[in-house]
Structure 1
Amino acid sequence: MIKSMTGYGTGLAENQTVKYTVEIKSLNSKFLELSLRLPKQISDKELTLRAESGKLIERGKVNITVTAEYADQAATSSTINETLFKKYYTQLKHLADAVGDEQSPLLQIALQMPDVVGSNEAETDEEEAKVLFEAFHRAIEKFNQFRLDEGNVLREDLQKRVEDIMAFQREVEAVDGDRIPLIRERIAQYMDTAVGKENVDMNRFEQELIYYIDKLDITEEKVRLNTHCAYFLDALKAPNPSGKKLGFISQEMGREINTLGSKANNAHIQQIVVRMKEELEKIKEQLLNVL
């Protein structure tokens, strides 16, 4: 089953003290780009959350937001150091009186001085940590299910497009049967008109014709393209298919399609090749979002 790199999940857990809500969002990225937004009360858990995210999310541009609601809001409220505040205020008032300034908002300035306003924050205790990680793993579970559901849609689309390329290849094979005889006939007619049939060295003509036609032969490209397409479909069915692996296979498919188009020397085949390329481009776009 393939997974999409696009994902979303939320998880909630609580006890008598606190309720944690974890929200996870992700978009496609070549690597894991992790952004964490945590309340200050649980900043000591950031490294652990990052390590867990790296193992469980693997890849993508991921935003994780954690919010905390405490039953006792006073436990996390800010506090004012009255002694320090009075000291700052007295000094500021003395300076204002000395310069004759009666307009300065001394109360606001004093509150903004260093260490006047503090917080009752403390490190998360073990019980709170259990609640936090319970919410986190619930969010991960929903997040991964979202990725799997999106992956199923991607798999069906990718499979259909590869099967379309294989159908186009069968069209190429139908046209290719008559291509070489027509080329041989056209060249022979050209030589008869240009130099006259009686002036043509038929042995030399046959040698040159074989060399030329060999350059236009697309049998090898058709075989390799069919092999790559079959390999792609097998890789889609693997237990843990990789978007990078599928991307490498699609590159090989692209090489064969390009070579097939350049060697075909046939307007109908080149039109079919254009349709193959359109499908391949859509495949590559979809693979950017496969984990």
Structure 2
Amino acid sequence: MTGFGKSEATLPNRKITVEIRSLNSKQLDLGMRLPAIYRQSEYEIRNIVARTLLRGKVDLFVAVESQAVETSAHINKEAFAAYAAELRQTARAAGLETDTREWDAAATHAILRLPDVVSTEAENIPEEEHAALLAAVEEACNRLDEFRRQEGEILIADLLRRVDLIEHYKGEVEPFEKARTETIRARILDNLSKLPVEVDRNRLEQEMIFYLEKLDITEEKVRLTNHCRYFREVAGGEEAAGRKLGFIAQEMGREINTLGSKANESNMQILVVKMKDELEKIKEQVLNIL
């Protein structure tokens, strides 16, 4: 779910730049840095990002460059003049000299800090600028989504290759599985022959069959094959399949672990370890898919 997108919108007096980055996350975690004049559009921007990106730790930055001299600060000339007259009159009454440049500079600085002299009006952006901002955000999101899509195609191909390897290793288990049964039977009979006791052959065969059935891995192999098939179907045909692929990978892990616990044979254990290694890589890569 990593990606980057950037877009720009140029207006007669302003240039808007939108950059958006994303990292892996189970949910949508959106952080935004907007100029103060665009705070009124925050809700709509969040909706666009949530609709387009769905998941990920997303950081969105909006910058605006003004190409004209403008300010939202205004000086109240009447209030300034009233303060200046009152201040000069009070200073003269106190015997202070008010006809110098130093006095003018100090008085101007003091008056500008007094209430109601300088006011800042909230700026309402024009509808054209508002539409351009939202269009730039949507374009940046789409570019990030396209970045993700290209990365996702590469990841899916890698995941499917690893699923094929797991099935290949599962197929290599079969020759050792058949030989294992005879080896276990021979080992049990050899150990019993060393004991100075009489053995009921009928009961021994019953117990032998029961024990060997517990080691049978046919059911696990069938379920693992079905999970691999379903993994391919979901990876190839569903949108936002990351979570589902993660669940399927967990089920594949259950079957592989059971194969390992029932293996009781060194060559089978080696193949199980190889399957687990591929599955761990699958689980890591699935986190990068929506």
Alignment TM-score > 0.5, same fold = yes
Aligned to 1:277: 276
Structure 2 CA distance for aligned equivalents of residues 134 and 119 of structure 1: 28
Determine which structure has greater relative contact order: mean sequence separation of CA pairs < 8 Å that are 6+ residues apart, divided by chain length: 1
Aligned to 1:226: 225
CA contact (8 A) 2:75 2:117 kept: yes
Q: Select the structure of larger CA radius of gyration.
A: 2
Q: Which amino acid aligns with 2:134?
A: F
**TM-score scaled by structure 1?**
0.84
Structure 2 CA distance for aligned equivalents of residues 167 and 107 of structure 1: 85
Change (3 A) 1:115 1:140: farther
Q: Deviations over 1:225-271 (max 9, x none)?
A: 11111111111111415100000000000000111101111111111
Match of 1:29 among 18, 25, 28: 25
**TM-score scaled by structure 2?**
0.85
CA contact (8 A) 1:243 1:287 kept: yes
Q: What's the CA shift for 1:195?
A: 3.4
- Asked if 1:209 is matched to 2:223, the reply is no
CA contact (8 A) 1:247 1:284 kept: yes
Aligned to 1:174: 175
Q: For residues 1-291 of structure 1, what are the structure 2 equivalents within 5 Å?
A: 5-74=1-70, 76=71, 78=73, 83=79, 118-119=119-120, 121-195=122-196, 199-291=198-290
Q: Percent identity?
A: 45
Change (3 A) 1:173 1:118: farther
Structure 1 CA distance for aligned equivalents of residues 22 and 30 of structure 2: 9
Q: What's the CA shift for 1:44?
A: 0.4
CA contact (8 A) 1:85 1:110 kept: no
CA contact (8 A) 1:9 1:142 kept: yes
Q: Which amino acid aligns with 2:28?
A: L
Aligned to 2:102: none
Q: What's the CA shift for 1:119?
A: 3.9
Q: Show structure 1 runs of 5+ residues with no match.
A: 98-104
Instruction: State the secondary structure of the residue aligned to 1:34.
Output: strand
Change (3 A) 1:115 1:224: farther
Q: Which amino acid aligns with 1:18?
A: R
Q: Show structure 2 runs of 5+ residues with no match.
A: 95-105
Q: What's the CA shift for 1:134?
A: 2.0
